Every structure is written in C-alpha cells, then in structure tokens.
Structure 1
Amino acid sequence: MANVHQPDLFQNLTHKKMGFPEVFSHILTFMKREPVGNYRLMVGTDSQVHPSRTLFITGVVIQRVGKGAWACYRKEVITREMTTLHERISYETSLTERVASLFTEERKNELIDIVLPHIYKGATFTMEGHIDIGSGDRNRTRVYVNEMVARIESLGMEPKIKPDSIAASSYANRYTK
C-alpha cells in the first residue's frame, strides 16, 4: 500500500506541526484550568476518497462538557483511491487506535489525577474512540459495527458510533474535504 506517511504531527487553527508531547501538554493545560469538570477525551478518524488519493484525518478532542473544548488533528494521505468500504473503515479504526495508543497508561493516569481530587464534586474523565459508522438500517457501514466496536473496546476506550461519534463524523470530517 503506497502511502505518504507524515510523522505524527498534529495541527489546529492556531498551532501547526505539533508533536504528540505538545498535544498532550495542551490537553493537560486545558484540564488543569478547571479541574472540576466532566471531561471527554475523544479520538476518531474520518476519510475522504479524492482522485488518486485517500485523505484520512484523525481528530483528538478534549471536551469539558458544557464548557468548551480543545482539539487538533493529524492528516495521512494514501496515494490511491481506497474504494473498498471495509478497507477504509478498518484503516480509519487503525489510525484511531494508533493515536489512542499514544495515550499511554502513564499519560492517562496523569489526566485522571487532575480530576481525581474533585470526583466528590462531580468531576469525571472518560476516553472515547469515535468510529465513523452507523448501525441504522440504511447505513452500509452497519455490518462492520461489531468488529470496529470490539477493536476500540480492546483498547479500554468507550466506543461511540454515529450519531455520537462527533470526533470522527463532525470534527475530523471537516478537514477531509
């Protein structure tokens, strides 16, 4: 499979070429500003087939529910039209798994330690893997739901599919066009 592999660099509207340590630092800063919050760390990938290439965008979103979010994304280009739906969905899930694996146990514990002293005040932290597939009768991706959900669960993440997979189907989708 020919692909143009960029190093694991992330970007958003204000920061270009961030390595993962910088991304993690932004997430820590965002959470430390208001440790008493309900935090959702979401990772999800979407793709778009273009002439002679397929563009994959993996979004990383830290949301303080009801009080804003910080997000960035990583881009990967495969230099062919990936037209087989299962291959594309599976590769999207692989990229989500790859970025999620950058959140090592040590890093996850660092994030949990921010909210831990405030749990009695209602603070929470969850990590979700967002998959750009749906289970509706008219959705052609529904046959892959169980397979992809199991892959996300095996990472210890809470899987989310459409319409709840906003990191993939909304945030990442915006940058695949």
Structure 2
Amino acid sequence: MRQSPIYKIPFQNIQEKNMSFEVVFNHIVEFMNVNPAGNYQLMVGTDSQVHKQHTVFITGIVIRQVGNGVWGCIRKVMVPRRMTHLHERISYELSLTEEIVSLFTEERKNQLIDIVLPAVYQGATFTMEGHIDIGIGKRNKTSEFVNEMIARMESMGVEPKIKPNAFVASSYANRYTKQE
C-alpha cells in the first residue's frame, strides 16, 4: 500500500516536534502503561480556520486518563485557498479525523485494549472517540450536517462526539487554527 503525502505530515506538541505517527502511538502506550487500571479515552478531532490566502486544519490526538491527566499532540494541514463553503470545510475536517483514526488499526487498538484488559474487573476502561466540530442547536449553521458526520464516525467503529462534548476539535485543535 502506497501512502499518500498527507501521511508524512508530522505531529507536534509543546515538548516535541516532527513526530511520526509511530512516535505518537508509542507516547500513548507509555501514557497508558503508567496506570493500566485507569479509565482511558482516546480522542481525535479536527478544526479549521479560514485565513486571507489559505485554510488551516488542525487535528488533535488526545489520550485522557479520566481524573488523572492527558497527553496530546496536533497535526497541521494547510490548504492553499480559502475554503468558504461550510459543508466542504466540515467534511474535510472529518476526512482528516478519519485519516488519523484509520492509523489506529485493529492491531494497534488491540494493543491499547490489552494494556487495560488485566484490570477490567477493577474498573479499567478504554474508549475511542471522534470529536466533530458541529452542533445541533437551532442557531448552529452546522446542524444540518450532524447526521451525515455522525454516521461517518460510527462507520469507522468510533464513538462520535459533537459540541459541547467535542472538546478536542472545538477547544484543543481550535486554539492552534488561529496561528498563521
């Protein structure tokens, strides 16, 4: 299988730049191995911002141990034009999220599940969520796309989350879209 150039776009966070997905995955494994009896949420979400000459897309990956910290990173994709049509932008955001979710193959997901499995009877959990930067409010311009986007996430076997519960897209990734 030949990988598209977009797979080569590196991840980064405050501590580390130019991380491959393998490095990111290893950070997630290390984070979970600190306390295998934890409740873990692996969350992926994308947000975008239209600038003067281009549109910036930031995809965030966050592993959260409920009540006990997080580790996260982002990946930046720049489209060299203003993407002003909302449906196109939301759909592309979700495509970028789906691309990252697809990197968590069954083998990789099983590796993460195997970390918590010995402590499952003590309450350990692992879930994977796709955070979509859309909402259902009557005044929300994205509400007409909710069913389509949720169905896309569900088809990948990932639990979809929308606003206000889609904080990886609407808060974490959003913070980095403002930067040129």
> TM-score with structure 2 length normalisation?
0.95
Q: Write the distance in 2 (CA, Å) between the matches of 1:9 and 1:149.
A: 27
Structure 2 match to 1:8: 9
Deviation per residue, 1:1-25 (Å, 9 max, x gap): xxx9582310000010000000000
Q: Write the distance in 2 (CA, Å) between the matches of 1:167 and 1:161.
A: 10
Q: Write the distance in 2 (CA, Å) between the matches of 1:32 and 1:5.
A: 30
Where do residues 112-127 of structure 1 align in structure 2 (5 Å cutoff)?
A: 112-127=113-128
**Quick check: 1:152–1:159 contact (8 Å CA) kept in 2?**
yes
Identity %: 66
Q: Which runs of 5+ in 1 are unaligned?
A: none
Q: Which runs of 5+ in 2 are unaligned?
A: none
Deviation per residue, 1:77-96 (Å, 9 max, x gap): 00000000000000000000
Instruction: Tell me the CA shift for residue 113 of structure 1.
Output: 0.2
Question: Counterpart of 1:37 in structure 2: which amino acid?
Answer: G
**Quick check: 1:8–1:20 contact (8 Å CA) kept in 2?**
no
Deviation per residue, 1:36-85 (Å, 9 max, x gap): 11100000000000001000000000000010000001000000000000
Instruction: Tell me the CA shift for residue 104 of structure 1.
Output: 0.4
Where do residues 102-113 of structure 1 align in structure 2 (5 Å cutoff)?
A: 102-113=103-114
**Quick check: 1:6–1:76 contact (8 Å CA) kept in 2?**
no
Structure 2 match to 1:82: 83
Cα 1:94–1:120, aligned 2, differ >3 Å: closer, same or farther?
same
Structure 1 match to 2:139: 138
Structure 2 match to 1:176: 177
Question: Counterpart of 1:87 in structure 2: which amino acid?
Answer: E
Question: Counterpart of 1:13 in structure 2: which amino acid?
Answer: I
Structure 1 match to 2:36: 35
Where do residues 28-67 of structure 1 align in structure 2 (5 Å cutoff)?
A: 28-67=29-68
Deviation per residue, 1:121-159 (Å, 9 max, x gap): 100000000000000111010000000000000000000
Runs of 4+ in 1 over 2 A off after TM superposition: 4-8
Q: CA RMSD in A?
A: 1.1
> TM-score with structure 1 length normalisation?
0.96
